[in-house]
Amino acid sequence: MNQHGGNLAAAAAALGVRTGQLLDASASLAPLRPAVAAEAWRAGAGLAGLRPYPDRAHSALRVAIAGVHGLDPAWVLPGNGAAELFTWAARDAAAAGVSALPAPGFADYGRALDCWGGAAVGWPLPLDWDGAFPQSLPAPPPQARALWITNPHNPTGQLWSRACIEPLLVGGALVIVDEAFLPLVPGGDAQSLIPLLAEHPNLVVIRSLTKLYGLAGLRLGYALAEPERLARWACWRDPWPVNGLAVALGQRLLRSPARYQRHCAWVQAWCAREGAWLAQRLAALRGPWGALMPLPSAANYLLLRGEGSLVPLRESLEQQYRIVLRDCRSFDGLDERWLRIGLQSRRGNRRLLQALNNLSESS
């Protein structure tokens, strides 16, 4: 089974349509703003800048990322999306000992550990919670020497408090915090672990620009950690892991910390508005699938629980309405009763609701 959302090429091929005909609610991305699209165009327009090999040290991009977070550039390592950086984090985690992987949780952590033969145990998370965010993580398995934390959590949308994670940094265990979605969460940065990096050499924070800017095809993320760890990772990886276009666009998008904060504020307002609007309407729907129960989410996606299997509903949305939702069976602990919906623009969310209403009325 596909381990990720956003595989539009495969979905389009299976349906015999063009990718542009699909509404992709399987991936969780901020809407692409015209200003960001214009920056992407400008970054690619200077072909003279794309002819040479990229700077292997990513010096200017590291300076831009460091400026956004108030860090020294030595504490920054850009990557070919967060996924590439998980691979190097997993090498350190495998050397440290047993990893605790949240369940349900993102399958890519296990994929990365498998590259190095790393041992892992499940870290069970609750599947019922209220919407009073941030919340507290349950205690990790006692044998774990490396902890993988997603904040906000994927696929549930739970936001963990910094206060509940900070004690886990004491004792020497490697703590890898995936904050790819945190800049999209209203008030999310108050729970970021970035301010704790200087005090804890066992902490790694990984972020993604592709979620925040709606540019998943670009593949651009970054790790924040002590310089010695990042220098070691840089020696392990391929010579040019980040392409020149991604470097150029990253520098343009992050050249002004104030502009970055304005973009985050816009995305967070969209997330709060559309999340509440869509969750309320989904909860009111009834159909042959029974009730759809959207769980409270701080993030730009909603985890839905059905009374029975939601596979027929997902397949009907694809086949009849060209709408792709995330099948959650690749998440440990979730089965065919679960779906995840990535928030869309209001137009896209209306298209999804209209399709659900049509399926309900035709049953």
CA distance 72 to 66: 6
The answer on 116 and 88 residing in a single domain is: yes
Place of tokens 């005090």: 199
Q: Does residue 181 lie in a domain region?
A: yes
**Which residues, including other chains, have CB under 8 Å from residue 47's CB and lie 6 or more apart?**
none
What CATH number does residue 89 fall under? 3.40.640.10
Q: Dig out the tokens for 346 from the structure.
A: 């209001």
CA distance 251 to 36: 12
The answer on 134 and 116 residing in a single domain is: yes
The answer on 308 and 356 residing in a single domain is: yes
Closest CA to 340 of 280, 262, 282, 265: 282
What CATH number does residue 346 fall under? 3.90.1150.10
Whole-model pTM: value is 0.94
Given this model, what pLDDT does residue 7 score?
72
- Which of helix, strand or coil describes residue 84? helix
- Across the chain, which has 363 residues, the per-10-residue mean pLDDT values are 62 82 92 84 68 88 97 98 97 98 95 98 95 96 97 97 97 95 96 98 96 91 98 95 91 94 97 97 93 96 96 96 95 94 97 96 78
The 8-class DSSP code of residue 168 comes to G
Q: Does residue 126 lie in a domain region?
A: yes
Domain end residue (candidates: 255, 270, 304): 255
The answer on 165 and 110 residing in a single domain is: yes
The share of the chain scoring above pLDDT 90, in percent, equals 81
Given this model, what pLDDT does residue 80 score?
96
The answer on 283 and 229 residing in a single domain is: no
The answer on 115 and 179 residing in a single domain is: yes
Given this model, what pLDDT does residue 224 score?
98
Q: Does residue 1 lie in a domain region?
A: no
Four-residue CA torsion sign, 215, 218, 223, 227: negative
The answer on 138 and 97 residing in a single domain is: yes
Domain end residue (candidates: 231, 255, 279): 255
Q: Does residue 2 lie in a domain region?
A: no
| Residue 236 amino acid letter | W
Q: Does residue 3 lie in a domain region?
A: no
The answer on 331 and 250 residing in a single domain is: no
Q: Are 297 and 275 in contact (CB under 8 A)?
A: yes
Q: How many domains does the chain have?
A: 2
Domain end residue (candidates: 255, 276, 291): 255
Q: Are 110 and 94 in contact (CB under 8 A)?
A: no
Q: Which long-range contacts (CB under 8 A, 24 or more apart) does 117-121 make?
A: 118/90, 118/93, 118/94, 119/94
Domain that holds residue 40: 35-255
The answer on 42 and 24 residing in a single domain is: no
Given this model, what pLDDT does residue 2 score?
44
Q: Does residue 205 lie in a domain region?
A: yes
Q: What is the mean pLDDT of the chain?
A: 93
Given this model, what pLDDT does residue 47 score?
58
The answer on 288 and 249 residing in a single domain is: no
Q: Does residue 337 lie in a domain region?
A: yes
The answer on 51 and 19 residing in a single domain is: no
Given this model, what pLDDT does residue 1 score?
42
